[in-house]
Structure 1
Amino acid sequence: MSKPRIHVITLAEIVPQHESEVIQVLRTAAVLTRQEDGCLRYDLYRDTTNPMRINTIEVWADEASLNRHMNAPHVKQAIMTLIGKLAGIPQFRVLQVVDEFEI
């Protein structure tokens, strides 16, 4: 049996006057993250009822890949740049697969 992949959802809300900058920072981070070893998927979404709510949905090959990502220089830079531009602290959820449909 193969090791289960690691799924992560991050939920955040943008302070409206910083919307353009936050979106650019997150898009840049997404491009760099997708190039990381072990990144199987990294997507950025807006909430349809509140476009200031932004989410990432990530899939990592394993916990080690996620840990490397969390310590990557571009992640640290994005976090520092986003201070004060998000409403509160983002929610970061690491998920364990219970039942998953694969294509």
Structure 2
Amino acid sequence: MTDDTSGDARTDEIAVVTMRFDGSDPAALNAVLSKYVVLTRMVDGCRNVDLCASTTVPGRLLVIQKWADARSQRRHFDSALMVEMAESCTGLLAAPADIDLWDGVSAHDLA
């Protein structure tokens, strides 16, 4: 674990983000999030990002992101791309998005 002066306590750990969206207009929301995922894959520090559709809740979409470190994840969340995605969701959501931050656990940590 590494502390630095920017306030990110764990910059050497993989940062995982989940964003769950319940769509009032699922087709339009899917288009917005699909564009966001494709563009996010090109961002420095992004290790992976996927868009998933719930098989049990119609209109529910989940974005799962894995970042090289917390600093990269935070930089992305403050980016114009993130702001554009959030603004594009206006009127497409049945409820506010549920966003959660996770520490990535590797097999090496389990030994």
Q: TM-score, normalised by structure 1?
A: 0.86
The corresponding residue for 1:36 is 43
For the residues of structure 2 that align with 1:101 and 1:85, how far apart are their CA atoms? 38
List alignment gaps of at least 5 residues for structure 2.
Answer: 2-10
The corresponding residue for 1:76 is 83
For the residues of structure 2 that align with 1:10 and 1:44, how far apart are their CA atoms? 10
Q: Percent identity?
A: 27
Structure 1 segments of 4+ aligned residues over 2 angstroms from their partners:
99-102
Matched, 1:3 2:3: no
The corresponding residue for 1:23 is 30
- Post-superposition shift, 1:55? 0.3
Matched, 1:56 2:63: yes
Structure 2 counterpart of 1:96, one-letter code: D
Matched, 1:14 2:20: no
> 2:13, 2:70 within 8 Å by CA — same for their partners in 1?
no
Aligned residues: 99
> 2:17, 2:101 within 8 Å by CA — same for their partners in 1?
yes
The corresponding residue for 1:66 is 73
- Post-superposition shift, 1:101? 4.1
RMSD across aligned positions (CA): 1.8
Structure 2 counterpart of 1:35, one-letter code: M
For the residues of structure 2 that align with 1:91 and 1:101, how far apart are their CA atoms? 27
**Residue aligned with 1:4, SS:** coil
- Post-superposition shift, 1:84? 2.0
For the residues of structure 2 that align with 1:10 and 1:78, how far apart are their CA atoms? 12
For the residues of structure 2 that align with 1:101 and 1:32, how far apart are their CA atoms? 29
